[in-house]
Amino acid sequence: MDFQARLLKVGNDLRKDEVRALVFLCSDILGCNPAAVQSAGDLFSRLSDQDHLSEEQPHLLVELLGIIQRTKLLRDHNLPRTGAQDLISPYRKLLYSLSEELTADDLKDIKFLLNNKLPRGKLEEVTTLEVFMELEHRALISDTDLGFLESIIQPVCPVLLEKINQFNAQNSMNHGLVAQETGRPIAETDPQQSTEVRSFNLPPSQCCSVQHACCVSHFNQMPSFNRCVSAGRCVGHLSPRKPDLLRSGDVRDRQRRCSKYENPNPEVLVLSAVGCPDVSVQGVETYLMTAAKRGRCLIINNCNFRVSRLKKREGTMVDEASLDKVLKWLGFEVEIQRDCTSKKMSSLIQELAKTSQRDWDCVMCCVLSHGLEGGVYGVDGGTVEIRKLMEPFSGTNCPSLAGKPKIFFIQACQGSRQQDIVYTDAGTPGHGYVDNNAVQAKECIPSHADFLLGMATVPSFVSFRDGTHGTWYIQSLCQNLADMVPRGCDLISILTKVNADVSKKVAWIDSGHKTQMPQPAFTLTKKIVFPAPNTPHPVL
């Protein structure tokens, strides 16, 4: 009997509630609304299409049936009974375990407690797992924040708090380290030695004055990158020199003291990294932002690289959640695709370009993955050139978006040299990696107008990912969008502020402190100013 026939028999032997449980457990892997999966066969087909389930790799099915305690089906249908045990996240396992412990009366009590949090229609005829999914959808619970879940479990079934406490303790132990996603090599480290990694802001004794740093923009030699726009401060490739380290302290105090910078080099335009430029400077136009929705944002979030030899990207779900909150608040229709192969990444981009609408104000794509020189990895270990991700949106290929901004943010490192202890988006197997072949953003951006590419790192700078709090770059980007859009700031000024903020962060790695510098590049012809939403910005 072939593998598909055995899967069919397994699916037929599962109860409806068991199928719903499997779909819930796989929700992070599927990257779609669990409600869209109607049957066991549908689930298995989706997992097979995404290369998560095959005769050669039945490990996910083995683990799933083990979690719901139906391993007898493996024996009944001649399937392997051993396999990897860490394909489903501990967070999903925790929520499933809690749902199994809660009785029908407990569920009624939980629904009563949620009356002021969820619409009554969302609480009718739903299971415990569906309640948990709705809480996730509304960002009331996550794998890094179970406080609200504890508050509703405690009065209903306090004995279950021990399960949550154990998860929190394990999660803190596993993900507390700062992780590094790198640019060029820093220091060579003995792989046998442990490396201490600490994240901190610099003490007040460090000088606030900056000459070559976080907020300078070189005019490079590319023809499409050599003109100045005063209101946006610069149209060009932001390629900063290594920053003098900035002092920490109160944000307002930094803003007051750091709003002006020395500019000893007449060939370097110094940008104000704090505060907002005058958005009404004469002669500088702004892209129209008048649609009911800004447009669509595709988030490709590659976390689990099980089918390749690349490491899991701990902390990336935090970045995904922050982007989702902020971009929806800004009016984007957000589509999230998780754990994509290189082929699927390309097809998703092509599909986004083909389905783009003329009434969109813009389009955005965020890629969170491992990277290498000039490209990003799919979870299968295949690569996609960054330029290839952007080219489908040129005026020729995508006329519906001609004259409108096409915005790309890439959270990925660009190299493969080894460094101990830290996680890295270099992706090469080992303890951690640094880049020795980083590519400049200007080499990735197409020559067509109206593109903006924001990359997490520049050559010679490391990029850090924290397993608990996400990456420095994406978290700073989201926070500054939330803070500065209501003040009427244009996107280039916001990215300059991101450069300033990230450059102030320091990780202590064995031989000394290491910094990071993001790198925007663009061929914009106008300013991008997102309309200020009517609602308060989300809490990140």
Lowest mean pLDDT among 36-40, 54-58, 241-245: 241-245
Residue 109 in this model has a pLDDT that exceeds 90: yes
Confidence bin at 107 (pLDDT 50/70/90): very high
Q: Give the distance, in angstroms, between the CA of residue 258 and the centroid of all CA atoms in the same chain.
A: 29
Measured between alpha carbons, how far is 187 from 415 in angstroms, rounded to an integer?
14
Fold match, 90-175 / 179-522: no
Over residues 193-204, mean pLDDT: 36
| CA distance linking residue 363 with residue 215, whole number of Å | 26
Judged against a pLDDT cut of 90, whether residue 527 lies above it is answered with yes
Is residue 441's pLDDT more than 60? no
Q: Is the pLDDT of residue 347 over 70?
A: yes
**% of the chain residues with pLDDT over 70:** 69
Mean pLDDT of 292-319: 91
370 annotated active-site: yes
pLDDT for position 32: 66
Say what the pTM is.
0.50
Strand partners, 418: 433
> Would you say residue 1 has pLDDT above 60?
yes
Q: Are 376 and 367 in contact (CB under 8 A)?
A: yes
Q: For 232-260, what is the mean pLDDT? A: 35
DSSP alpha helix (H) spans, 14-89: 16-25, 27-30, 40-49, 59-67, 72-76
Q: At residue 300, does pLDDT exceed 90?
A: yes
Give the largest Cα separation in the chain, rounded.
Answer: 77
Average pLDDT (122-139) is 86
Residue bearing tokens 């959640």: 321
* Whole-number Å distance between alpha carbons of 491 and 527: 7
Instruction: Give the pLDDT confidence score for residue 124 in this predicted structure.
Output: 82
> What is the pLDDT, as a whole number, of residue 461?
55
Write down the pLDDT at residue 508. Answer: 64
Statement: residue 513 has pLDDT above 90: no
Q: Residue 117: what pLDDT?
A: 86
Domain positions in the chain are 3-76, 90-175, 179-522
| Distance, CA of 522 to chain centre | 21
User: Domain spanning 179-522 has what CATH number?
Assistant: 3.40.50.1460
CATH topology of domain 90-175: Death Domain, Fas (1.10.533)
Architecture of domain 3-76: Orthogonal Bundle (1.10)
Rounded to whole angstroms, how far apart are CA atoms 389 and 446?
10
Give pLDDT, residue 122.
77
The confidence band for 230, taking pLDDT boundaries of 50, 70 and 90, is: very low
79-83, 109-113, 374-378, 508-512: which has the highest mean pLDDT? 109-113
Dist CA 33 CA 133 (whole Å)? 10
Catalytically annotated residue among 52, 212, 218, 370: 370
Read off the pLDDT band of 199 (50, 70, 90).
very low
| Least confident residue range of 217-221, 378-382, 386-390 | 217-221
Q: Using one digit for the tens of pLDDT, what is the confidence trace for 321-335?
A: 999 999 999 999 999
Instruction: Single out the catalytic residue among 214, 413, 478, 489.
Output: 413
